[in-house]
């Protein structure tokens, strides 16, 4: 069932993002007088098509991993003399720039609209209260203690753990000190803490900013009750079911969910005797965790089970909501912040501060889409907005084959007063295609490694 949900979620996400992207090209091309021959969502054999009164064929194709807008163009096929003025290549360079740039800009616009809707509807966040601080960690050396609420990171106000993580990830590679502001309660004045860091988060895969600083978020007591059991994994094979509570392992009582997780992680391949409460019934089951190697070479146990969610106390939950006008500024700010974060991540990956293994391909996107869909509508649409921004940024990179490569040629043409030679464009096309294929293969490889 999880696989089906993942596939459906990624089809919905990619279908929407691609449709919006291609509609940007289509809408501006029409406004510039260019004849659009085909608007396709997906590649391969059409499974649905219709033609409008302008002669444009709208197609939904069998492979939902892309799309395109095909315009009348003398470089691709002969154009009748009476239609030449409607060909893409016959348009002034600034109109061609507008048509090409419209696709990525449509993705940014979609993200702004989605964030605006989220801010107007209101989002629920967990108040960023520190639970524990690890001894001799950067947070401990700075004097931060449990029970304090973090209110600012590097001088910027934060209201949730999500915002804190974004600010900290943006500091990858930092040396010296990271400043946090925290307070004991809502009435107290914030105190500033300076956390010593060196090569912060460099080459971590994935980055773990809070753990690296020694900060554990506060959370309510979570009993060892299973919420999900994955088919074919150790927990299912042992006979565990959603709703089961693990009372003891090898005769020793289990304090909470993390206690159970720690015992599983330290017992790869070992048989564990479980005392399980299933309603009024008491069961004895044998669980043998599988073995999985993590990035530092350590082998840990895993069983393929998730915890049953618990209700958070009201004082630890916060609703973030804005009026329709104020939400516009917030949506623009969030889109700009995520755009800069994506660009900075690309830069840091190129200079070696971020591991290339953080690249994600269709498998990881499908998993994330499915996970956020199961978590709730708010998480799903937030993921959609971020993916839309990523798609817009990547398409604007100056790599031939992508929109950004075409824009590069057209800006050069605007400056020189004549087009870039076909020979140069052909060489660039081959280089760009090689780069894109290499990135796709790397992303797929890292997807498979994460899946394995």
Which residues form the catalytic set? 22
Measure the CA–CA gap between 170 and 177, rounded to whole angstroms: 14
Cis peptide bond prior to 206, omega within 30° of 0: yes
Measure the CA–CA gap between 360 and 267, rounded to whole angstroms: 30
**Residues with Cβ within 8 Å of residue 301, at least 6 apart in sequence:** 264, 265, 266, 267, 268, 269, 270, 289, 290, 291, 292
For residue 257, how many other CB atoms are within 10 A of its CB? Answer: 22
- 342 CB-contact burial (10 Å; exposed 0-12 / middle 13-18 / buried 19+): middle
Name the region of 243 (left: φ>0; alpha: ψ -120 to 50; beta: rest): left
**Residues with Cβ within 8 Å of residue 61, at least 6 apart in sequence:** 40, 41, 42, 43, 44, 45, 46, 47
Q: Extract the runs of DSSP E, i.e. beta strands, from 236-280.
A: 245-249, 252-253, 272-278
Measure the CA–CA gap between 86 and 51, rounded to whole angstroms: 18
DSSP label at residue 125: E
Measure the CA–CA gap between 159 and 243, rounded to whole angstroms: 33
End-to-end CA distance of the chain: 19
């Amino acid at each position: 069932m999880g696989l089906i949900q993942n596939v459906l979620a990624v089809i919905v996400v990619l279908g929407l993002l691609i449709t919006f992207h291609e509609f940007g090209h289509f809408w501006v091309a029409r406004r510039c007088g260019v004849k659009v021959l085909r608007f396709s969502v997906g590649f391969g054999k059409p499974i649905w098509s219709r033609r409008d009164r302008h002669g444009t064929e709208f197609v939904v194709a069998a492979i939902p991993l892309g799309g395109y807008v095909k315009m009348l163009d003398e470089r691709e096929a002969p154009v009748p003399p009476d239609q030449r003025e409607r060909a893409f290549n016959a348009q002034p360079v600034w109109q061609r720039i507008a048509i090409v740039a419209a696709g990525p800009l449509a993705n940014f616009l979609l993200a702004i609209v989605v964030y605006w809707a989220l801010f107007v509807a209101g989002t629920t966040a967990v108040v960023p209260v520190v639970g524990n601080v690890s001894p001799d960690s950067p947070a401990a050396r700075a004097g931060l203690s449990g029970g304090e609420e973090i209110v600012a990171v590097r001088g910027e106000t934060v209201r949730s753990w999500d915002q804190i993580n974004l600010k900290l990830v943006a500091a990858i590679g930092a040396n010296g000190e990271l400043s946090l502001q925290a307070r004991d309660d809502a009435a107290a004045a914030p105190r500033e803490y300076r956390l010593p860091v060196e090569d912060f988060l460099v080459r971590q895969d994935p980055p773990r900013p809070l753990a690296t600083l020694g900060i554990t978020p506060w959370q309510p007591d979570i009993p060892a009750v299973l919420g999900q059991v994955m088919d074919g994994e150790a927990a299912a094979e042992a006979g565990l079911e959603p709703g089961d509570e693990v009372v003891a392992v090898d005769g020793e009582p289990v304090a909470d969910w993390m206690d159970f997780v720690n015992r599983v992680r330290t017992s790869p391949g070992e048989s564990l005797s479980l005392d399980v409460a299933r309603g009024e019934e008491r069961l004895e089951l044998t669980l043998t965790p599988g073995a999985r190697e993590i990035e530092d070479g350590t082998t840990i146990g895993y069983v393929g089970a998730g915890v049953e969610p618990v209700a958070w106390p009201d004082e630890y939950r916060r609703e973030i909501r804005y009026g329709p006008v104020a939400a516009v500024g917030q949506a623009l700010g969030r889109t700009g912040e995520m755009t800069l974060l994506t660009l900075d991540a690309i830069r840091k990956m190129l200079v070696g501060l971020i591991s290339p293994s953080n690249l994600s391909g269709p498998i990881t996107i499908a998993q994330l889409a499915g996970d956020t869909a199961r978590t709730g509508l708010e998480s799903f649409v937030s993921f959609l907005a971020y993916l839309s921004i990523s798609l817009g940024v990547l398409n604007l990179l100056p790599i031939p084959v992508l929109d950004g490569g075409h824009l590069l040629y057209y800006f050069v043409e605007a400056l020189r007063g004549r087009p870039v030679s076909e020979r140069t464009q052909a060489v660039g096309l081959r280089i760009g295609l090689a780069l894109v294929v290499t990135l796709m293969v790397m992303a797929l490889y890292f997807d498979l490694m994460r899946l394995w």
